């Protein structure tokens, strides 16, 4: 009888790096951690931008534009949260391509921040918030997918990411208010771009690691009887 070839089953890493045809995924915890750092940084910036308009006193973005906060803030928050929910669903269900979704989400966030930063009126400010919210939601969903996937310490990763996001939500209004009063809301908006670009570069590096994360399947040849 001809010799039988037994293939070693593919090693399950996580959905961030799905195995290519004929190959088994090789665990690369560093690349996973790299993605969580980049995506997590973008997620924290998104959380900060969500609550930044809630700055206390007269330091709100809407006051600088010339709109009453009581009228404008609910529209801005809904304009951020509704697209963010859509983006998060997209990021969460696009399980095979979380790195790509995160990269696109970060780029969309940068576009939204730029639109809000140059907004001469409230309508364009809300439009920038909508775009930013969608990008932030996509990042939140994709980072959650990777944190929940096999191949890492889910409890630690989710605790660190969740804690950082909650902290950003809490301090957002106060940091934003201080920047708005000492400088301007436009400068405060643009100050989030450099760290966002750092997050984008890290996410791209983590995604590029997919090309090198595989190894050929190991085969064992057993002679026939």
Q: Give pLDDT tens digits for 59-99.
A: 566 666 767 777 778 888 899 999 999 999 988 887 778 88
> Pairing mode, if any, of strands 219-222 and 4-7?
antiparallel
Enumerate residues 6+ apart whose C-beta is below 8 A from 30: none
CB 207 within 8 A of CB 104: no
Give the model's pLDDT for residue 213: 46
Question: Among residues 62, 36, 53, which one has the least CA distance to residue 154?
Answer: 36
Question: Among residues 109, 120, 41, which one has the least CA distance to residue 80?
Answer: 109
- The maximal CA–CA distance of the chain, rounded, in angstroms, is 87
The average pLDDT across 103-124 equals: 90
Task: Give residue 148's pLDDT band: very low, low, confident or very high (50, 70, 90).
Answer: confident
DSSP H/E element including 65: helix 61-65
Give the model's pLDDT for residue 24: 33
**Environment class of 44 (CB within 10 Å of its CB; exposed 0-12, middle 13-18, buried 19+):** buried
* pTM summary value: 0.76
Give the model's pLDDT for residue 163: 94
Give the model's pLDDT for residue 219: 40
């Amino acid at each position: 009888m001809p010799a039988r070839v037994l293939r070693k089953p593919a090693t399950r890493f996580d959905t961030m790096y799905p195995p290519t045809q004929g190959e088994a995924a090789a665990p690369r915890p560093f690349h996973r951690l790299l993605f969580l750092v980049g995506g997590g940084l973008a997620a924290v910036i998104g959380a900060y931008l969500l609550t930044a308009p809630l700055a206390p006193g007269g330091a709100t973005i809407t006051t600088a534009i010339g709109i009453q906060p009581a009228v404008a803030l609910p529209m801005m928050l809904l304009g951020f949260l509704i697209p963010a929910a859509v983006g998060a669903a997209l990021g969460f269900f696009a399980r095979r391509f979380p790195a790509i979704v995160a990269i696109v989400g970060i780029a969309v966030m940068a576009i939204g921040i730029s639109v809000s930063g140059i907004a001469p009126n409230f309508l364009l400010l809300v439009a920038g918030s909508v775009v930013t919210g969608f990008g932030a939601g996509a990042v939140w969903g994709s980072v959650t997918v990777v944190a929940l996937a096999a191949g890492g310490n889910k409890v630690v990763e989710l605790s660190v990411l969740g804690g950082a996001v909650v902290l950003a939500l809490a301090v957002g209004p106060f940091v934003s208010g201080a920047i708005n009063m000492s400088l301007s809301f436009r400068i405060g908006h643009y100050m989030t771009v450099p760290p966002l670009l750092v997050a984008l570069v890290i996410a791209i590096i983590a995604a590029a690691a997919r090309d090198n994360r595989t190894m050929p399947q190991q085969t064992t040849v057993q002679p026939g009887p």
